[in-house]
Amino acid sequence: MKQKKTTALFLALPWIVTLLLFWLYPIIYSFVVGFTNKRLLSKTYEWVGFDNYKTLLTDEAFLVALKNTAIFVIGTIPFTTIIALLLALLVNKQFKGRGLFRAGFFLPSITSMVVIALIFTNLFQRGGYIALLAEMLGFTVPQHGFLLDSSTALFSIMAMDVWMAVGYYMLIFLAGLKAIPQELYESAKIEGAGVVRQFFSITLPMLKPVALFILVINSIKSFQVFVEIFVMTQGKFETSTMVYFIYEAGLTTKFNFGYASAAAYILFVIVALFSFVQFKLLKQRGEAW
């Protein structure tokens, strides 16, 4: 018995070490540092109480980052979810070449974000294909392309993110569609319900848990947008986001660890709330299946 207990602990050792060293320690450390004025090269630092948090709430750059993150989350998620659902419906029924289309739609989601961001940097610039297409359709393209203009940069990156993510969420919707019992449709048909009626009375309500799940994981991910901002605009042209702000305040010229950690904790609280909901939903979903 004693030996079994030792085995149990031994097996979990890698996780316990990782947990303590690379998760709990950094999380607690950044909480504490958030109340100090620690910087990279200063050996000594002082407690400043809630000063970092107070300064953050009046820091223009932080507020812009917060606003942009909110725009990003609210602006991309409805589009991603609806387009993903439409794609899922389109490739749900059996037809020739279905697997190919599914794979093709999903392809952008497994490509490196750095690569995608590099490609779109070209496509969005003046003379790039998206700019050319926009001109053909009668839109005016900003003088230096979509990414070098404050009125279009953030929205362009958001559009790219929607394009990239829809295939991934399409697959999750497909799993949801598969879980709907066919008998429901059959009895609906017998009662004379048309395709549209079936969609609104059966498909949509049955997909609600999956849709909720998608909403939550997508928002958690969108709150942490960084790579595309870093590669495409370096946070310029009103595109800075929360994680970009943390990076810039803490790990570029200023190396203001205390300040950046406080900003990270604000993000942490926001995302933790969403994650909590995610777990609740996951559990429900696990029980339902």
Q: Which of 116, 159, 162, 207 binds other proteins (CB under 8 A)?
A: 116
Positions in 245-264 near other proteins (CB under 8 A): 246-247, 250-251, 257, 260-261, 264
DSSP state of 252: S
* 62 is a contact residue toward other proteins (CB under 8 A): no
Q: Interface with other proteins includes 120 (CB under 8 A)? A: yes
Interatomic CA distance for residues 17 and 270, integer angstroms: 27
Nearer to other proteins (CB atom), residue 135 or residue 151 = 135
Contact of 231 with 114, CB cutoff 8 Å = yes
Q: How far is the CB of 204 from other proteins (least distance, A)?
A: 19
When binding is defined by CB under 8 A, the residue of 2, 60, 95, 182 that contacts other proteins is 95
Give the end-to-end CA distance of the chain in Å, rounded to a whole number.
36
d(CA 221, CA 73): 9
Residue from 61, 90, 188, 202 touching other proteins (CB under 8 A): that is 90
Q: Toward other proteins, which CB reaches closer, 32 or 201?
A: 32
Q: Which of 77, 91, 153, 207 binds other proteins (CB under 8 A)?
A: 91
The encoded tokens of residue 158 equal 């958001």
For other proteins, the binding residues in 198-227 under the rule CB under 8 A are 213, 217, 220-221, 223-224, 226-227
Q: Which of residues 69-88 bind other proteins (CB under 8 A)?
A: 87
Please, which of residues 169-198 interact with other proteins by CB under 8 A? 171-172, 174-175
Residue 124 touching other proteins (CB under 8 A) = no
Kindly give the residue spans of alpha helices, DSSP state H, lying in the chain.
2-18, 25-33, 51-58, 60-90, 98-110, 113-124, 129-136, 153-178, 182-190, 195-198, 204-222, 227-232, 242-251, 257-288
Member of 146, 230, 237, 245 binding other proteins (CB under 8 A): 230
Footprint of other proteins on 127-166 (CB under 8 A): 127, 129, 132, 163
Residue closer to other proteins (CB basis): 192 or 286: 286
Calculated CA dihedral for residues 119, 124, 129, 133, nearest 10 degrees: 150
Q: Sign of the C-alpha dihedral, residues 121, 123, 127, 131?
A: negative
In whole angstroms, the minimum distance from the beta carbon of 111 to other proteins comes to 6
Q: Pick the stretch among 59-67, 94-102, 183-191, 194-202 that binds other proteins (CB under 8 A).
A: 94-102
Q: Which is nearer to other proteins, 112 or 253 (by Cβ)?
A: 112
Beta partners for residue 36, in sequence order: 47
Taking CB under 8 A as the binding criterion, the range among 18-26, 65-73, 137-145, 192-200 that sits at the site for other proteins is 18-26
Euclidean distance between CA atoms 192 and 218, whole angstroms: 37
Instruction: Give exposure, 86-117, as e/b (b: 16+ Cβ within 10 Å).
Output: ebbbebbeeeeeeeeebeebbebbeeebeebb
